[in-house]
Amino acid sequence: MPKPAKTIVCVEDEPEVIELIQVMLETSGYRVIGVIGGREALEVIRREKPDMVLLDLMMPEVDGWTVFKQMRADPELKNIPVVPVTAVDKPIDMMLALEVAGVDEYVTKPFSRNELIASVEKVFRRREGRE
C-alpha cells in the first residue's frame, strides 16, 4: 500500500505563485494547500498539521517572520519544518534565517522546479535522518 503524500502548506500573498508551487510539487507527488497571506496561515497550519510549510517572508498585514515566530512558540507546531520562499536574496539575510532563526532551508525567487523540489526533498531527508 503506497504511503500517503506528504502535505505542504504554501503561504504566499500572490495567488499565481501558489498555483505555480502547487503544480511543481503536486507533479512530484506532494499534496499542497495554498494559503493567501499570513493572517490565515496559522489557522490552516494548526488544522492540517502539515509535513512542511513554505513561507513567503514579505507579505502585507502579517509577514512570514511573524508566522514563523508564532509557529516556533506553539508546542504543536514548533517541529514542523519551515522553508522561506522569498525574493530576499542577500547573503546576510539567508545566513540570519538559516543560522540564527533556524529555518530548515531557504529558497529565493525566482526559482526553478528543480531547485524547489531539491530543497523540499533535502529537508525531508534531513528530518528522516537520511542526510
Give the CATH number for residue 95.
Answer: 3.40.50.2300
Task: Compute mean pLDDT per 10 residues along the chain, 131 residues long, and list them.
Answer: 82 96 96 95 97 93 92 96 86 72 86 96 88 57
Per the domain annotation, does 35 fall within a domain? yes
Per the domain annotation, does 64 fall within a domain? yes
Per the domain annotation, does 1 fall within a domain? no
How far is 71 from 57, CA to CA, in rounded Å? 14
Q: What is the structure's pLDDT at 130?
A: 66
Count structural domains, the chain. 1
Per the domain annotation, does 98 fall within a domain? yes
- pTM of structure: 0.91
Q: What is the structure's pLDDT at 92?
A: 72
Q: What is the DSSP letter of 2?
A: P
How far is 67 from 59, CA to CA, in rounded Å? 10
Q: Which residues contact 104 (CB under 8 A, 6 or more apart)?
A: 52, 81, 82, 83, 123, 126, 127
3-state secondary structure of 89: coil
Per the domain annotation, does 2 fall within a domain? no
- Domain span at residue 78? 7-127
